Structure 1
Amino acid sequence: MHLVLILVALIVFIVLATSKLKLNPFITLLLASFLAAFAFGLPLDSIESTIRGGFGNILGYIGLVIVLGTIIGVILERTGAAIVMAESIIKLLGGRFPTLTMSLVGFIVSIPVFCDSGFVILNSLKRSMARSLSVSPVSMTVALSTGLFATHTLVPPTPGPIAAAGNLGLENNLGLVIGVGFVFAIIAAAAGLFWAARCRNLPSTELEQAEEAFQEAREHYGELPSPMAAFAPIFVPIILICLGSIASYPTSPLGQGMVFELLNFLGKPLNALMIGLGFAAFLLKGEGKLEEFSRHTKKGLEVSAPIILITGAGGAFGSVLAQTPLGDYLGDTLSTLGLSVIMPFLVAASLKSAQGSSTVALVTTSALVAPLLTQLGLDSELGRVLAVMAIGAGAMTVSHANDSYFWVVSQFSKMSVATAYKSHTTATLIMGLVTIACVWLVSLVAL
């Protein structure tokens, strides 16, 4: 029990230090990492390497993606491409339900793309839509973040759900997992959208720097790029990542030859975003394109640097917690309660809240639950699928200070930590609870 109390104390420290004492989140998370290491009794000779390793591991994946995504975003904004994208989507889907539109975009994008990368890629589009439609930027942020998060935790081929399905013996029936996951992801996204509508009055500085009305800003750019050219820097990488995911399916639908190798290479997020950056460069016009590109790159680096540092510090904090006996304690304690689909949910939610990574929660919980399926009454094809859904629901409960996604969402949206807790964190709690309630009801009828 004392392990849980230590975790609660650490989370309280992070919340108070960032919201009340106004400490920089980067320093706060580093302090929390050291405090956690000492409080949980990690060996002194491993503390430094654990923190350094956690910092580096998370940035090894998301760091370069953040940089490239930010540079692309700067170019999209400064060439007027983001305005073209906003107007095109509004024209296609209508402007009556902007948060629904944003949620749908995130929902689709995050099926093959990590939610962190998806938010980075789509942030400029979200900001332009919020500005053009005079919609609360916090509501739009929550709509996007929850739309991304729903499929990230529930629908293969995202790595977490596909690993959980494999651990539970469903590697040859991924079609069923994808179909059922899609249904529950819609429910989760709808729950997030519900909360997004209630965040319209929360403060944000994201749009305060806009000195002109949207129409004036549009005219400022003069001749705008075509919709195809404007969307290419975002959707070409997304399409490549999707094709890479399809090529990497266990059934090898595209074989193992040259096509597979090419798509597997181009579908890596870093490689795909480099290509997207190339398309973004084509948006530059007039003389001095190279100098203009250098200016946009410099601005992108300035914007992304603090986000990268905070994200890495969150990874360090999560890495320290992962080295403690906290996860084992929670898993062993909850696994003895015999709660059918509720038990996998509680284990995954505990792991997610304790160490921050949804993917780690999905993989670890599915491995722990696999030998217990018979005792839980889930030892059937549908039972195993519902177990994956329950674990996915837990893996979204909740995104807070030790989750890199929390910092990507809050920092890119220029929200204070307190506002991020009220909006994004609360939304993920509601999503998880609503989703597991629906999974439980289905289990009562179908099992």
Structure 2
Amino acid sequence: MTGLPLIIAFIIAIVLMILAISKFKIHPFLAIMAISLILGLVAGIPLTNVTEADGTVKTLGLANVIGQGFSGTFTSIGIVIILGALIGTILEKTGAALKLADMVIHLVGKNHPELAMELMGWVVSIPVFCDSGFVILNPIRKALVNRTGTSSVAMSIGLSSGLYIAHVFIPPTPGPIAAASTMGVGNNLLLVMGMGALCSVFPLIAGYFFAKHIGTKVTANDEANQNEVHKTYEELVAEYGKLPNGFNALAPIIVPIILMAIGSIASMAGLTGTINSILQFLGTPIIALAVGTVFGIIQLSGAGKMNEFYELTNETLKTVGPILFVTAAGGVLGKVISSTDMINYITQNATLLEKIGIFFPFLLAAILKTAQGSSTVAITTTAGIVAPLLPVLGLGSPVRTVLAVMAIGAGAMTVSHANDSYFWVVTNFGAMTPEQGYKTQTVGTLILGVSAMVEIFILSLFL
């Protein structure tokens, strides 16, 4: 199958995938894999390898296409995702995430509590999932409501915004790592992290002002529970005993960043020999995050919790497993698409896509996010679809590819509603009703996604 019928088949496949995940509650892994197989069959990918007369493979069979798409994704990002998640778990367990939050409060000051909550969430969510981050930091949010008299809703949305922005933009969160790898910039995570921080500026500003505004319009049920709140916060701090110092709390995050930066600098400087090899080795994402994990283990040992390390690792693997498999399934879909004639057809008729450009990955991710709820699924699935189209979209250079990763992340924020677990975390822990959640969390994530896309579009005009 070629031409317009193939494009129509592709659109139908995406619609069926969304329906399977959102309406019929089929697991994303199974839905994406099934759609990949069906699309491959409909598109006419041969069932077995087509070989030349000398025995070399001319065209891969569908089974091998699926196998390569799956294994290729695991090869490139599996270890990185696992180590990033493990670092986050350790920070959670040792109280380092709480320490990072306190550092942000001291930096911003108590006179700007909404901003403190937002920046706190943004920092903590770099290694920690936004759902977990909200649960971890919610006692601090409540305590600050008590200490400052600020609106509980404003603090909830400020915290939610900061967590969400880092969650979709900045590795080692699995979504951005998976998208970067799928789209060919997985070895340049430092650029992805830097661009993620840059693209956070507009949504952080928009989230802050929306939080202050909506706090005057909506009242949560926990506004009056302040005495109980303060006690809960103090008890939470006491559970950790002694919190780690600032360096120990930052080390698992900052050391990998420094190592990747040094590796990139060594490469740009044209160094050669043993020193260059060592720096390049330490600067690869897998090794850099492994070193960060070592610092996390040292932190765990200092907290006297090494006896819990086995169980922490086990729980992390259980959490990361579904993400890895969904990510790999997204890689399969991308491989199937690239193995069809669709790319050639789109390339020959690229006028419309060229005009859409950077907005195409944003819109596709937003549709997937709104339909099925998971930002990570939206990011990984969209990356698999967009990767073969990058040259056609005018996003083929490394910097513009990273911008496409950011556009996918912006779309994956748009919007959080009842089919998203994060929506329920924010509304339940923020003591809001579902109706209030739609006015606050849903509208807020729409503002975040659109403001982020505005910034990404502006950057695309210059990069």
* TM-score band w.r.t. shorter chain: 0.5 to 0.7
> Is 1:97 aligned with 2:105?
no
> Is 1:297 aligned with 2:309?
no
Deviation for aligned residue 1:260: 2.0
CA distance in 1, matches of 2:82, 2:184: 27
* Equivalence for 1:190: 202
Deviation for aligned residue 1:393: 5.3
Q: TM-score, normalization: structure 2?
A: 0.63
> Is 1:25 aligned with 2:28?
yes
Q: 1:427 to 1:35 in 2, by over 3 A?
A: farther
What pairs with 1:3-402 in structure 2 (closer than 5 Å)? 3-45=6-48, 46-94=61-109, 95-98=113-116, 101=119, 105=123, 128-129=136-137, 132-133=140-141, 135-136=156-157, 138-148=160-170, 186=198, 189-191=201-203, 194=206, 213-249=232-268, 251-252=269-270, 255-285=271-301, 290-335=306-351, 342=355, 344-345=357-358, 365-366=390-391, 396-398=406-408
RMSD of aligned Cα (Å): 4.9
Deviation for aligned residue 1:291: 3.0
CA contact (8 A) 2:382 2:408 kept: no
Q: TM-score, normalization: structure 1?
A: 0.64
Q: 1:233 to 1:50 in 2, by over 3 A?
A: same
SS in 2 for 1:223: coil
Deviation for aligned residue 1:61: 2.0
Q: 1:256 to 1:142 in 2, by over 3 A?
A: same
Deviating more after overlay: 392-401 vs 267-276: 392-401
CA distance in 1, matches of 2:383, 2:251: 30
Deviating more after overlay: 277-286 vs 306-315: 277-286
CA distance in 1, matches of 2:273, 2:334: 39
CA distance in 1, matches of 2:457, 2:77: 32
> Between Structure 1 and Structure 2, how many residues are aligned?
368
Q: Which 5+ residue runs of structure 1 have no aligned equivalent?
A: 110-117, 150-157, 164-176, 202-211, 371-383
Deviation for aligned residue 1:57: 1.2
CA offsets 1:13-43 (integer angstroms, 9 cap, x no match): 2222222211111111111211221222211
Deviation for aligned residue 1:324: 1.9
Deviation for aligned residue 1:93: 3.2
Q: 1:280 to 1:91 in 2, by over 3 A?
A: same
CA contact (8 A) 2:168 2:410 kept: no
CA contact (8 A) 1:142 1:193 kept: no
CA distance in 2, matches of 1:161, 1:34: 21
* Equivalence for 1:205: none
CA offsets 1:330-383 (integer angstroms, 9 cap, x no match): 232124x697xx46547877999999575995896458869xxxxxxxxxxxxx
CA distance in 2, matches of 1:312, 1:87: 37
Deviation for aligned residue 1:224: 1.5
CA distance in 1, matches of 2:253, 2:444: 24
Letter in structure 1 aligned against 2:262: L
Q: Which 5+ residue runs of structure 2 have no aligned equivalent?
A: 49-60, 143-155, 172-179, 186-190, 219-230, 369-379, 426-436
Q: 1:361 to 1:18 in 2, by over 3 A?
A: closer
